[in-house]
A and B are shown apart, each in its own frame.
Chain A
Amino acid sequence: DAGVIQSPRHEVTEMGQEVTLRCKPISGHNSLFWYRQTMMRGLELLIYFNNNVPIDDSGMPEDRFSAKMPNASFSTLKIQPSEPRDSAVYFCASKIAEGSYEQYFGPGTRLTVT
Chain B
Amino acid sequence: AQSVAQPEDQVNVAEGNPLTVKCTYSVSGNPYLFWYVQYPNRGLQFLLKYITGDNLVKGSYGFEAEFNKSQTSFHLKKPSALVSDSALYFCAVREYGGATNKLIFGTGTLLAVQP
Contacts and interface: CB of A to CB of B under 8 A. Distances in A.
A31 B108 CA distance: 24
Interface residues on B, range: 20 to 34
10 contacts: A43-B44, A43-B105, A91-B43, A93-B43, A98-B99, A101-B32, A101-B51, A101-B103, A103-B46, A108-B42
Q: Which 9 A-B pairs have the closest CB atoms?
A: A105-B43, A105-B44, A102-B46, A43-B105, A31-B101, A101-B94, A107-B43, A42-B107, A108-B43
Interface residues of A, number: 22
Given A42-B107, A103-B46, A105-B45, A50 B101 contact: yes
A106 interface: yes
B101 A106 contact: no
B105 A101 contact: no
A42 B105 contact: yes
A45 B108 contact: no
Interface in B75-112: 90, 94, 99-103, 105, 107-108
B45 A48 contact: no
A4 interface: yes
Contact of B108 (A4, A42, A93, A108): A42
Nearest to B44: A105
A65 interface: no
Interface of A: 4, 31, 33, 42-43, 45, 48, 50, 55-56, 91, 93, 95, 98, 101-108
A83 B32 CA distance: 37
Given A4-B43, A102-B46, 12 more contacts: A42-B105, A45-B103, A48-B101, A55-B101, A101-B32, A101-B49, A103-B46, A105-B36, A105-B44, A105-B45, A108-B41, A108-B43
B25 interface: no
Given A42-B108, A101-B34, A107 B42 contact: yes
Contacts of A103: 46, 103
Contacts of A56: 100, 102
Nearest to A92: B43
Contacts of A31: 101
Contacts of A42: 105, 107-108
